[in-house]
Amino acid sequence: MFALDVEDDWPPVASEGAWCERIGEYYKFKNVPFFISGLAFNDIFSAEPDPVNEHVFDFEIIESSGHSVVWLMNNDELDISEFREKIIKLGCSFEGFPKFDLGAIDVPPDTDFETFQELVDEYEEKGLFFAFPVWRTNESN
């Protein structure tokens, strides 16, 4: 579990659970996060879970996976099935959090970023909101 800083009622939860694989003294992040900023799929990181509640408050990336994370908010409840299909065809994965009209997108390092950005621009014009908490287009792996 990762503790989250809640400010002005956002995010709408105080912690987020994530799958992590133990790699020696480190962890490998195996999720696409909805609220954890700074970690992406397959990043290797160090962390000391709190001894009282076992939540992670701080972490340090040991090895970047090169993956990026994009969040989307669908306040207008638009049909995003076509958008999902298009990004999946680009090699991305999508996780939805319908209760809050949110989505989290894993963008692998070999993604065609120009095409991805064109899709984001197109769907922003239709009313989706995007955030880029981890954007690594310039990293070399």
Domain containing 98 equals: 68-134
Is 122 contained in some domain? yes
Residue 113 burial (C-beta neighbours within 10 Å; 0-12, 13-18, 19+): middle
Q: How large is the angle between the packed helices 81-89 and 113-125, nearest 10 degrees? A: 170
User: What is the number of structural domains in the chain?
Assistant: 1
Is 17 contained in some domain? no
Residue 87 exposure: Cα atoms within 13 Å on the Cβ side: 27
Is 79 contained in some domain? yes
Query: How high is the pLDDT of residue 50?
Result: 85
Is 6 contained in some domain? no
Query: How high is the pLDDT of residue 77?
Result: 85
Is 101 contained in some domain? yes
- Domain with residue 90: its CATH number is 3.30.70
Encode pLDDT of 73-104 as tens digits: 998 888 999 999 999 999 999 999 988 889 99
Encode pLDDT of 61-72 as tens digits: 999 999 999 999
Is 84 contained in some domain? yes
Is 105 contained in some domain? yes
Encode pLDDT of 22-71 as tens digits: 999 999 999 999 999 999 999 999 998 888 888 999 999 999 999 999 99
Is 63 contained in some domain? no
Compute the distance between CA of residue 108 and CA of residue 22 in angstroms, rounded to an integer. Answer: 21
Whether 94 and 108 have beta carbons less than 8 Å apart is answered as: no
What are residue 16's DSSP bridge partners?
A: 2
